[in-house]
Amino acid sequence: MSAASPQKQITNFLMEIIKQASFEANYKMPSERMLATKFATSRRSIRLAYQKLIDQGLLVNIHGKGYFTTEKTKTSIATDLRSKKKIYFIVPAIRTSFAQDILYGITDFCDEHMLDVSIKLSKSNPAKEAQYIHSAFSSDVKGVILFPTDNELVNHELLQLSAKRYPIAIIDRYFKNINSSFVSTDNYNAMIEAVKFLHAKKYKRLLYLTSPSSLATSVEERLNGYLAGISKYFGQKDKQSVLTSKMFSSQEIYNDVTAYLKANPETEVIITNGSRTITDAVISAANALNLSIPKDIKLMLFDNDFSSTEAKLIRPYVIQQDAYQIGYRSAATLYNQLYGDLHTEIIRLPVKILDFTEEIPQKIRQ
């Protein structure tokens, strides 16, 4: 989790005071000395933060008296900050617990900070996603939180918004050529930790079932982390333990896994995404070969969409992402682009490895 820079903390603190005092012109702000003590920094740093707000017309410095809010604060900022600004959350679907918890995090932050979030389902359609992005910029929507569809193309509409410095926060997928905030799981290190966990449990035959790495940076990072973990803990980059499936349908996943397990009956653990489409197909493939889960093959899942009763039956290991914080932090960084120091951020959050034979994760749907 990346911490805000000292300069950002100061600016955000001052903006909160301005918001609270926005109906009162000539409100006196804290002194440079007091803020320097509070933030354990130099008065020069405080002065720079104040100067940014002066340049925006929000404050005025009266020599010998201090910093004060202005008429613009009263007439413009009061209306702007205390009325809800509309933002979009564009997401392929909200079927999984991962997507649902992201939504909870976003809506909680928006409720706390007077942002009006509208949910737009792209239904994994890049054209529909582009349409929503375009409509956001061409209307009164002030910013976008985007959970992109999995595809190899960078959305042209997204590139245009980035060039115009439109406030954007992107979840899960990182675009190197787009200037936006990015919030995700630390997928690379998560997979290294997953392999380390399995190595400690004395497993030797692992299978990583994945979609093509070209679809999203998160998929690529997980694959690279898995291979790095195999190299570190098993002494080799065993690419034979990776099964790439296009995953267009549950039947395709079933066919791919069945063929692999027939050729590799010694497989002990299958690591994959925890969506029900994938896990149900994997379980069906194992059952068709008279392989029992969890007796013969253990599942390790990125997140969990099983009910507590189902989870007790299959007893998976779970790579638990902090989806709520991903949502909350994505809304927070978008808010900062609207009201704070306007800087973008790259935030990668850690995971927890959970063992259903030892504990039941708190966030399981009943």
Could you tell me the domains of the chain?
6-79 (1.10.10.10), 84-185+323-350 (3.40.50.2300), 187-322 (3.40.50.2300)
| Cα–Cα distance for residue pair 123/170, rounded to 1 Å | 17
* Average pLDDT rounded to a whole number, residues 284-296: 92
* Average pLDDT rounded to a whole number, residues 245-262: 90
| Cα–Cα distance for residue pair 59/52, rounded to 1 Å | 9
* Average pLDDT rounded to a whole number, residues 216-242: 84
| Cα–Cα distance for residue pair 313/309, rounded to 1 Å | 7
Residue 349's pLDDT band, with cuts at 50, 70 and 90, is: very high
* Average pLDDT rounded to a whole number, residues 136-142: 86
Residue 311's pLDDT band, with cuts at 50, 70 and 90, is: confident
pLDDT at 250 over 50: yes
- Cα of 353 vs its chain's centroid, Å: 18
Residue 364's pLDDT band, with cuts at 50, 70 and 90, is: very low
pLDDT at 363 over 50: no
This prediction's pTM: 0.73
| 1-5, 95-99, 168-172, 349-353: least confident range | 1-5
Burial readout 304-330 (b: 16 or more C-beta within 10 A, e: otherwise)? bbbeeeebeebebbbbbbbbbbbbbbb
| Cα–Cα distance for residue pair 110/354, rounded to 1 Å | 30
**Coil, strand or helix at 182:** strand
Helices (H), the chain: 6-20, 32-39, 43-55, 71-72, 78-82, 97-112, 126-137, 156-163, 187-200, 217-234, 250-263, 276-288, 308-314, 323-339
Residue 366's pLDDT band, with cuts at 50, 70 and 90, is: very low
Angle (CA) 322 275 228, round 5°: 65
Q: Which residues contact 101 (CB under 8 A, 6 or more apart)?
A: 323, 324, 327, 363
**Percent share of the chain, pLDDT over 90:** 42
pLDDT at 77 over 60: no
In order of 158, 258, 261, 293, 297, the CA distances from 289 in angstroms are 46, 8, 8, 11, 11
Per-residue pLDDT, 277: 87
Type of residue at 79: T
Question: Helix, strand, coil proportions of the chain in percent (round to 5)?
Answer: 45, 20, 35
Predicted confidence (pLDDT) per residue in 171-218, tens digit? 988 877 787 899 999 999 999 999 999 999 999 999 999 988 887 888
| Cα–Cα distance for residue pair 200/234, rounded to 1 Å | 11
Whether 188 and 358 have beta carbons less than 8 Å apart is answered as: no
